[in-house]
Structures are given as structure tokens and as C-alpha cells.
Structure 1
């Protein structure tokens, strides 16, 4: 990629906070039978969330009491920055080590999308396997390579690196595909590439605007 292309990509990353217009037309979620995962647009990236009971044991053990546990992939130095500054944003598009952020939630985030999935894909099924395979193995902390622990949040070393060919949103799309959803990960760079596909899935709905913050 040329220097001009890298700079354009850097400027485009914050723009992923803009949701596709189709999201405004989604129905509000009501009580629904069957398992589902939650998809969160966190602005510059996307995350997926599941209750601990639907996660493989090593991941369920991170926050066993949480209502939902959200997972997000990203550039390691960016993910660990309390408030990313110009240096983190400018370095963001370049390849580097990646981290997985795991966050405990006490409920459903505002405007998260609910995506129905087959029970067989969860737990130790294909989605659970794909999630677990995203983590680098470690000697402690449930067999995962813990980088840093914060209240309600943990950072782990990822099994593969970050690049513009494999961003946080590419990872999310891959997890949705592992969940058996007809989502394409190839070519996805910004959050709109995930949210736009998810908005067209059968049975999708959107949580109420008055959501919750991550659990302390």
C-alpha cells in the first residue's frame, strides 16, 4: 500500500462510527426464544457478546457472573491506550501485534444487534472454537496469555497480528461466519462492512436506545 493509501485509511477508521441507514429501520428486540449473540458497534470497531453459559469453559471463566461478555480484536497498542492520541491513530493502519479485549456487561448495550444462532454453533461448537483460537495460549489466566487486567475488562494477547487486511471488523465478521451466519469477512475493513451485512440477516433486531455501560 502506498503512503497516500495508508493515510487515507487512517483518516477513514474513525468514520466507521457512521451506521448504515438500514439500521434505523430494524425492529426493537422483544423477548425471543433460542440463543443469540449480540453485535456492538463501538464506533471505530465492532465487538460480539455472549452470556458466559454459551462460551467455551476457558472464556466463560473470565467473567462468569456477567450477563454478557463482549469480545473485540484490535491493534495492541491502540487497544491498551486509555485515550488513544494522535500517535496511536497515525500508527493504527500499520501492521502490528494484536490484542483481544474482553469486557463484562451487566446487561445489553444500547442499540446492539441481536443475531439468532443455532445452539450447536455455541459453547464448544464452531463459534466457540473460533473465539478460543483467536487467543494466544498462555501459562496462566485460564490458559490464555493475559496482558493486563482492569475492572470489568481484560486484555489478552491475540493469536495473530493486526493489519489493514485483518482489522477488528474483519475479525468480527469472521466470528459471525463461524456462528453460521451468512456474513462475508473478506474485504471488510470498517465497522460498516459488518453492520451493513448484519442488518440484513433474518431475525435481526436492535436493543433499546437506553442501554447499559460495561460492568465495573
Structure 2
């Protein structure tokens, strides 16, 4: 019978799982994450999406410095003043929309909190592909800077909220950020501040 001394190292190694993948090298590409109330937006410079699947967005508001992209439950996002009915709808989940806003600066004027993150090479294109892949046609931008809502192929649920969506987009860009289990603004921003600190340490 094998001794316990021989078995223990093997059991510990089996429980540890595979080592984490090394984080990809960062490039000059960057994005901003802006928090407003319960919601997060992912903001990309206008020049970075002037070509590719989101080019119609940039062309729709040539004055814009950047564009904010978000995600949410359609009934909530389209309500003039979301109330208890929309809140109950959020618990049940349902059809979602992608929101697009043209901005004069890097983040929306009403942002309560924001942070910048560097991306791996090709990260901007990956985010653009992620956003564009959810809609039948590239969403137009409102030339006045208002919010445009476009139906998304991804549904909204308590397990996949606007905050989960932002983390998924950043993961698609190659950043080592968590996606599963991120539902609330506080959880997402805490993870993003940790990623920002990691990037500062590797600069």
C-alpha cells in the first residue's frame, strides 16, 4: 500500500489545477471604463474604431473624441424612468440592447468613477468585433451625442449583467480579468482596479 507521504504531494498537485496563463504583453492601445450609478460603459477612442466593424459608428459622429458602449436589459434601458416593474424584470432577465454614445471626451460627463486600461496588441479590434458580433448591423451613432440602443443577440440575466458584459469584452481583448461571478459595479471595478495595479507594476 503506498505511504501517505508519497500520496500527499500528488493530491496537492491534482487540486492545484493547471497554472494560470501568463498575461499577454501590453501595447499602446487603451480603453476607459466608466461607472455611472449601477452601470458600466466601455469607452474606445474614435480614431481606434474608424476602420473595422464599428466604422459606421465613428462616421455617424465625426466630432466625437470617443464612444461609450454598454449593455443592459431592454425594458430597463428604454424606460424613461425605470421603476419597480423594470426592477422585477431585471430579476427575470430577458432581451437586451447594446447602447452607443458619442462623447466629446474620453468618458461620459456623468461618470462617477473611471479608469484607463492598456490593451494587448489587437485588443481594440477584438472589443470592436465582440460588440459588432451582437447586432445584426453596426449601430449608427446619434450625431447629437444621444444614446442609441440596438437589440443584442446576448440576453440579459442576473448572471450576465452590464458589468459582466464589460468584463467579457475586456477578456476578449486579452486582459486577464474575471468574467464569471461578476455581476455588480463594485465587483467589476474592484477587479479592474486590480488589473490597473498589475499593469502599473509591469510598466
**Shared fold (TM-score greater than 0.5)?**
yes
SS at match of 1:89: helix
Equivalent positions of 1:67-216 (< 5 A) are: 67-109=65-107, 111-123=113-125, 126-133=126-133, 135-137=134-136, 143-144=137-138, 151-152=144-145, 153-201=147-195, 202-203=198-199
SS at match of 1:38: strand
SS at match of 1:189: coil
On the 8 A contact 2:132/2:138 being kept in 1, the answer is no
TM-score (structure 1 length as normaliser): 0.68
* Counterparts of 2:35 and 2:171, CA distance in 1: 17
Aligned length: 163
Deviations along 1:191-216, one digit per CA (max 9) or x if unpaired, are 11211111011346xxxxxxxxxxxx
SS at match of 2:70: strand
Q: CA distance change for structure 1 residues 79 and 131 in 2, over 3 Å: closer, same or farther?
A: same
Deviation at 1:149, TM superposition (A): 6.1
Deviation at 1:132, TM superposition (A): 1.7
Deviations along 1:116-156, one digit per CA (max 9) or x if unpaired, are 11232223xx32222222x221xxxxx2477x969422110
Q: Which residue of 2 aligns with 1:57?
A: 52
SS at match of 2:32: strand
TM-score (structure 2 length as normaliser): 0.72
SS at match of 1:122: helix
Instruction: Quote the RMSD (CA, aligned, Å).
Output: 2.3
User: Is the helix fraction higher in 1 or 2?
Assistant: 2
Q: Which residue of 1 aligns with 2:5?
A: none
On the 8 A contact 1:53/1:60 being kept in 2, the answer is no
Q: Which has the larger radius of gyration?
A: 2
SS at match of 1:99: strand
* Counterparts of 2:87 and 2:161, CA distance in 1: 14
* Counterparts of 2:128 and 2:139, CA distance in 1: 18
Structure 2, unmatched stretches of 5+, are: 1-26
Deviation at 1:163, TM superposition (A): 0.7
SS at match of 2:164: helix
On the 8 A contact 2:57/2:139 being kept in 1, the answer is no
